[in-house]
Each structure stands twice: as C-alpha cells, then as structure tokens.
C-alpha cells in the first residue's frame, strides 16, 4: 500500500485535540452525600482513576475519534499498486460462437469476467473490442473509461455462428496502429499453429482448460419409403466413458422414443421406421452433458433439390448462368430429359410441360416467333425480387399459352408466364435478347430454380445469422419472423439479403403465404475443445503500475461510524 497525500499528515492533531478536550473539560454533577463522614471516601474513589473512568463511560468519544482517524487516513490518499497489462493499446477479440455456451458457468461468462478484470489493469490505455463471426464487428473503439468498457462487455452475447477466428484475427490486425498493441483473444481453444506465421504482432490467448462432457446430435434426415417415412439420427459420444441416452422424435402429435447406449468416443445411427406423413419433425437428445445446444435438430420432409437438368440444345449461356450460382447442372440430350428424375428441367420442348417434373421453358419448339419492341413490364412476383427487367432488350417472342398467368409482358404481349402447375415459361430465346449481358439474368435463373425446386411452405435450413438471397414477395413487401408465436423482427424485400435469426430453432415466416424455416448449428459448433492460455511475442511498452484507490471504501466506513455516533447520541439524550 502507498500514500499520495503525506502533506495532510498534520491533520492527525485533530483527534488528539478532541481527546484532550475530553480529558480536561470541566463537568459538574450534583451529588447528594448523606453525611460529611463519607465525603472524603467518595473523593478518593473519584480521584483514583479519573481519566480511565471518563474513557470507559464515553462511547461517543470513541466513535468521534474513529471517524476523525479514518478521515485523516483518507486524506493521506491510500492506494494499492498493481502492474498494468503489457502494451500501450489493447484489442479484445471475443469468441461469440455457440460452443462458448458450454459448461456451468458457461465459457462465455468466464471470459466476460476475465475481460472485466483485465480492463481494470489497463491503466487508462485504449481498448478496442471486436466480436468474431463471418462478419467481425467492432463493439467499442479505443475506449479508456473502465466503466464504459465493463458495460460494453456485459452487453456482449453469443451469436451461435461459427467463430471464424482466423478471419477475425486478420480483421483485428487491420486495427493495429503500432508494435506496442497487444491482441487479446478470448476463446475456448485456439491452436498455436494458427498464429505461427504472425510475426511482429503480440498475441495473448485466453483459453478454457476445463474438460467438458459432450454428446451431440450430428445429423438428422428424413426419407420416404414404401412403408412410410424413415428417419435416421446420428449421435456422437465425445467422452471417454459409456453413456446412456434417449432420442425423442416428434412431429405433429406423434412422439417416438429410442433408448441407446453409446460406447466411449463412438458414434451411432438411430433409425425410426414407419413414421406417419408429417412435414416437419424434430429430434431431441435427452442426455446429461455440459453442452445442450447441439442436442436438438429439425428436418423438413420436402427439401429443395440442389441440381438442375439443362437441355443441351439450348444456348450455352443458360448452363453457365446456373453454374455461376453454384447450382449443379446436368447437361442432357433432349430425348433423355424425361429420365432426369424429380429435379427441375430447363428446355424449350413444350411436351415436357406434361411431365411431373418442374420445368423452366425458355423458347418454344412448336411455334415460330415474331418481332416485338418496347419496354418490359412485370407484376409483383418472387422471380423479379432481385433482378429488374427494365433495361433488357427483346427482339422477338413466341405465342403465349392459354390459361397461363402472365408475369411479364412486352409491347402488350406475354413474355414470362406461370402455368397452373407452377412451371415457368419464358417466351423468347436467349439469343434473341441481350439479357445475358444484364446482372438480372443470373438473378432470374436463381429465383426460377428456387421457385421450381422449393416447396410452398418451407423456406429452407439456415445457419445462425446466415445471410442469403431468398425468393420472397408480398403485396406489402414485408415478412414477419416468429418463434413460438412471439414476434422477433421483420424482413423488408429489397433491403439487402435475408438474414436468418441467430438462435437455433423452428421459425414461422408470415407473409402472403406462411412458411417454415429451420435454423440450426453447423457441425463445427457441435464439437468441444479445451484449450490453454499462452502469449506469442513481446510488446515494446515497459511495465507500469496502476493505482487502485481505497478512499471510496474509507468514506463508506466513515459514514457508517457517523450513523453509529448519531444513534449513541440519540439514546444518550432520550428521557429515561
């Protein structure tokens, strides 16, 4: 302990003055003596120890002396000395992935307490806090006030998405001003190899060394069989001991349970046969472990196909457009398209409209085109949510189909139609337009593939906070997201890509037609790892000390003593 106000030591005479005042003040008291014979005896007793008796009967004096002494001590400026963190500036990289929720208390809560402890040792040096993820975010920038930093740390929350530590560290390095900046990484585990090539930068990694138990559900799938639906659940035991668990499968009002025994460090497939036809199923793993976020998964019966069959006689830019969207393209001869299966088909053969497979018809092989001129006009539809056709030039179109809904027209004639079965018809050839030169061309192909391969009531499976373009359209251009009947937020069409909720679960998307959406963890967030704390590099800043004043605590004690003094005084003057 040190003192910063030795010039106030002279105030120590004040308690001494109060004490002397009590010693030598005159105090008169009426005393009845029954006989002068006892007078001398009484005086002897009083004079025997006058000062001691006064002190024994004056609790008020003790409290006053204590308050004065504490005030004198506070004026001296007592404080505790502690070394500051190494470095002149600090960047806190905080892992907000789902695995940080493992343990009790959770790893994230432990790291929050550690961060608040370290902010008290910065000595007023600037601190920047960023969170991890696909898009690292700056929470606070070069803040020196410890109170503001602690409030920002308390507001941090787990985002459930992949940590993307390497990408987050590259982002943190762009914020480094000089070599004296130290990057503190708060995570559960970080391999040293990831930092091996980062020369010239100082890293302080704070890992969680606690060994945790985890039994996770890795995969959950549904398929149709001749005897009904079939579900398979993959369960993995990451512990070194045998574990008993239950897998509960629920869909609608149906619930089935399977008891399993998992050997140490093994995985097991749990099948469920002859299930009734329900569109949405949820599997839950009932087991005692330290990480519950990976114990639930959901699956939709009808999921979108990832592939598409393209007629090889069409212009090659059509296949190239689908490939640019990372859609698997199967080039097939016109006579083989009927054998493509349930995946969407892109062709100009009108006979394919009679098949069960969804069709994107571009042009017609049974009619001749005729010239047109003018600007394309569209109606509100998901096909045009992300791509406008205003600047597209079309020189000729084919005759339209009767009883098909017209979605786009040019010069008063249908250009894009929608069949009653949901097939999409483009009444022109690609080579008769400049459409492939427009950014709207691949966007239209993506929207068409989504419309043909998707379902009417399922939006898809997303990872937490995943941003994805979705083909949604409504008259008011707004979709509301609900979970368990509780409204969360709204998505406005055209205002950037759709962002999935951050917490895993089943969501309702309310618009013109209600949709279901599933958000669940990636497999990377279903494996726990214990790490260590270590430092790489040496900061140039010399070690300094930071003072922690104890004056506020002394003031609190003085107030308590004053309250006690008042109570003693009040009792002393109270009538008996």
Q: Which of 66, 72, 69, 64 has its CA nearest to residue 566?
A: 64
Answer yes or no: are the C-beta atoms of 256 and 247 closer than 8 Å.
no
What is the per-residue pLDDT across 403-459, written as a single tens digit (0 to 9) for each?
898 999 998 899 999 888 888 999 999 999 999 988 888 888 888 887 776 556 788
Specify the pLDDT at position 329.
Answer: 87
> What was the pLDDT predicted at 25?
56
Q: What is residue 70's predicted lDDT score, i.e. its pLDDT? A: 79
Residue 33 has pLDDT above 60, yes or no: no
Number of Cα atoms under 13 Å in the Cβ half of residue 543: 4
Q: Which comes out higher in pLDDT, residue 437 or 303?
A: 437
Give which of 386, 119, 342, 311 is closest to 224, Cα–Cα.
342
CB 365 within 8 A of CB 399: no
DSSP 239: S
Lowest average pLDDT, out of 157-171, 242-256, 338-352, goes to 338-352
Is 358's pLDDT higher than 50? yes
Q: Which residue has the higher pLDDT, 29 or 85?
A: 85
Q: What is the CATH number of domain 215-303?
A: 2.60.40.10
At 542 the pLDDT is: 47
pLDDT at 511: 76
pLDDT of 19 reads 64
Rounded to an integer, the average pLDDT of 29-36 is 59
pLDDT per position as a tens digit, 468-503: 766 666 667 788 999 988 999 988 876 777 889 999
For residue 562, the Cα-to-chain-centroid distance in whole angstroms is 49
Q: Are strands 413-418 and 424-426 parallel, antiparallel or unpaired?
A: antiparallel
Residues 6+ apart with CB under 8 A from 52: none
**Is the pLDDT assigned to residue 386 strictly greater than 70?**
no
| Location of each CATH 2.60.40.10 domain in the chain | 215-303, 458-523
Bridge partners of 480, per DSSP, are 490, 510
Edge-first strand listing for the sheet containing 243-251? 254-262, 243-251, 280-286, 296-300
CA atoms of 57 and 357, how far apart (whole Å)? 103
76-85, 140-149, 264-273: the lowest-pLDDT one = 76-85
Q: What pLDDT, on the 0 to 100 scale, is given for residue 339?
A: 81
Q: How far apart are CA 188 and CA 206, in angstroms?
A: 8
Least confident of 33-47, 210-224, 241-255, 469-483: 33-47
The per-residue pLDDT of the chain, averaged, comes to 83
Q: Does domain 307-453 have CATH number 3.40.50.880?
A: yes
- Mean pLDDT confidence for 243-261: 93
- The helix or strand, by DSSP H or E, that contains position 230, with its residue range, turns out to be strand 228-237
Q: What per-residue string of b and e applies to 421-439 under the rule 16 or more CB within 10 Å gives b?
A: eebbbbbbbbebbebeebe
CATH entry, 458-523, from 2.40.50.180, 3.40.50.720, 3.90.550.10, 2.60.40.10: 2.60.40.10
Helical H segments across 135-244, by residue range: 146-155, 165-173
Q: Quick check: 306 pLDDT over 70? A: no
What's the mean pLDDT in 65-88? Answer: 73
Least confident range from 73-87, 208-222, 313-327, 386-400: namely: 73-87
In 3D, which of 73, 23, 79 has the Cα closest to residue 53? 23
Least confident of 114-123, 219-228, 254-263, 342-351: 219-228
Would the pLDDT of 210 be above 80? Answer: yes
Residue 227 has pLDDT above 60, yes or no: yes
Q: Show Cβ contacts of residue 79 under 8 Å, excluding neighbours closer than 6 positions.
A: 1, 2, 3, 4, 547, 548, 549, 550, 551
State yes or no: pLDDT of 74 exceeds 60.
yes
Please, where in the chain does CATH 3.40.50.410 lie? 85-209+533-543
pLDDT, residue 88, reads 85
State yes or no: pLDDT of 570 exceeds 90.
no
* 262 — pLDDT class (breaks 50, 70, 90): very high
Cβ atoms of 186 and 95 within 8 Å: the answer is yes
Residues 476 and 224: their CA atoms lie apart, in Å, by: 37
163 φψ region: left (φ > 0), alpha (ψ -120 to 50), beta (else): alpha
d(CA 284, CA 416): 45
Task: Please name which of 377, 368, 362 lies closest in space to residue 411, comparing C-alpha atoms.
Answer: 377
CA triple 86-89-94, angle to 5 deg: 95
Q: Let me know if domain 85-209+533-543 sits in CATH 3.40.50.410.
A: yes
364 Cα distance to chain centroid = 50
Q: Residue 239 — pLDDT band, cuts 50, 70, 90? A: very high
Q: What contacts 303, CB < 8 A, 6 or more positions away? A: 455, 458, 460, 461
Comparing 16-20, 225-229, 291-295, 422-426, the range with the smallest average pLDDT is 16-20
The predicted model gives 273-290 an average pLDDT of 91
pLDDT for the residue numbered 566: 78
At residue 234 the predicted structure's pLDDT band, cuts being 50, 70 and 90, is very high
How much is the pLDDT for 24? Answer: 58
Q: What is the DSSP letter of 529?
A: -
pLDDT of residue 393: 92
Q: How many whole angstroms separate alpha carbon 462 and alpha carbon 501?
A: 9
Question: What's the CA gap between 23 and 12, in Å, rounded?
Answer: 18
How far apart, in whole angstroms, are the C-alpha atoms of residue 203 and residue 537? Answer: 7
Q: What pLDDT, in 10s, does the model give residues 129-175?
A: 999 988 899 999 999 999 999 999 999 999 999 888 999 999 999 99
DSSP SS3 for 85: coil
């Amino acid at each position: 302990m040190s003192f910063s106000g030795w010039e106030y030591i002279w105030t120590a005479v004040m308690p001494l003055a109060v004490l002397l005042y009590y010693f030598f003040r005159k105090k008169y008291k009426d005393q009845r003596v029954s006989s002068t014979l006892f007078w001398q005896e009484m005086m002897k007793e009083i004079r025997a120890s006058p000062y001691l008796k006064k002190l024994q009967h004056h609790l008020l004096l003790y409290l006053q002396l204590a308050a004065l002494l504490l005030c004198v001590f506070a004026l001296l400026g007592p404080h505790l000395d502690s070394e500051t963190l190494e470095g002149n500036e600090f960047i806190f990289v905080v892992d907000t992935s789902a695995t940080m929720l493992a343990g009790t208390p959770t790893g994230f809560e432990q790291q929050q307490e550690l961060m608040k402890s370290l902010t008290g040792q910065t000595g007023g040096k600037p601190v920047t806090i960023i969170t991890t993820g696909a898009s690292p975010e700056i929470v606070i920038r070069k803040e020196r006030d410890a109170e503001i930093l602690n409030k920002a740390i308390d507001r941090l929350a787990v985002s459930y998405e992949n940590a993307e530590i390497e990408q987050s560290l590259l982002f943190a390095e762009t914020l480094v001003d000089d070599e004296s900046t130290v990057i503190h990484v708060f995570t559960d585990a970080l391999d040293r190899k990831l930092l091996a090539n980062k020369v010239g930068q100082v890293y302080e990694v704070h890992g969680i060394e606690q060994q945790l138990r985890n039994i996770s559900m890795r995969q959950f799938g549904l398929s149709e069989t001749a005897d009904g639906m079939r579900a398979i659940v993959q369960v993995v035991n990451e512990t070194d001991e045998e574990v008993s668990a239950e897998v509960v499968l629920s869909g609608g009002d149906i619930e089935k349970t399977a008891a399993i025994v998992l050997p140490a460090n093994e995985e097991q497939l749990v099948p469920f046969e002859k299930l009734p036809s329900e569109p949405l199923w949820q599997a839950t793993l009932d087991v005692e472990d330290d990480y519950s976020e990976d114990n639930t998964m959901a699956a939709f019966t009808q999921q979108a196909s990832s592939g598409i069959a393209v007629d090889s006689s069409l212009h090659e830019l059509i296949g190239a457009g689908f490939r640019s969207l990372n859609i698997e393209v199967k080039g097939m001869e016109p006579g083989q398209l009927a054998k493509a299966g349930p995946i969407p088909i892109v062709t100009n053969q009108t006979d394919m409209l009679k098949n069960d497979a969804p069709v994107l018809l571009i042009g017609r092989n049974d009619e001749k085109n005729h010239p047109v001129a003018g600007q394309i006009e569209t109606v509100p539809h998901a096909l045009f949510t992300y791509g406008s056709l205003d600047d597209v030039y079309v020189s000729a179109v084919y005759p339209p189909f009767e009883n098909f809904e017209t979605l786009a027209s040019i010069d008063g004639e249908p250009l894009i139609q929608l069949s009653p079965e949901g097939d999409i018809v483009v009444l022109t050839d690609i080579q008769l337009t400049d459409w492939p030169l427009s950014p709207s061309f691949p966007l239209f192909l993506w929207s068409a593939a989504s419309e043909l391969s998707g379902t009417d009531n399922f939006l898809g499976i997303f990872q937490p906070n995943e941003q994805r373009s979705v083909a949604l359209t409504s008259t008011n251009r707004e979709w509301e997201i609900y979970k368990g009947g509780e409204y969360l937020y709204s998505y406005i069409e055209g205002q950037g890509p759709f962002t999935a909720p951050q917490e895993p679960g089943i969501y309702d998307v309310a618009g013109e037609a209600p949709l279901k959406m599933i958000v669940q963890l990636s497999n990377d967030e279903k494996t726990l790892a214990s790490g260590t704390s270590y430092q790489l590099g040496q900061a140039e800043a010399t070690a300094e000390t930071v003072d922690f004043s104890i004056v506020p605590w002394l003031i609190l004690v003085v107030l308590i003593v004053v309250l006690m003094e008042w109570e003693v005084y009040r009792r002393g003057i109270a009538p008996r």
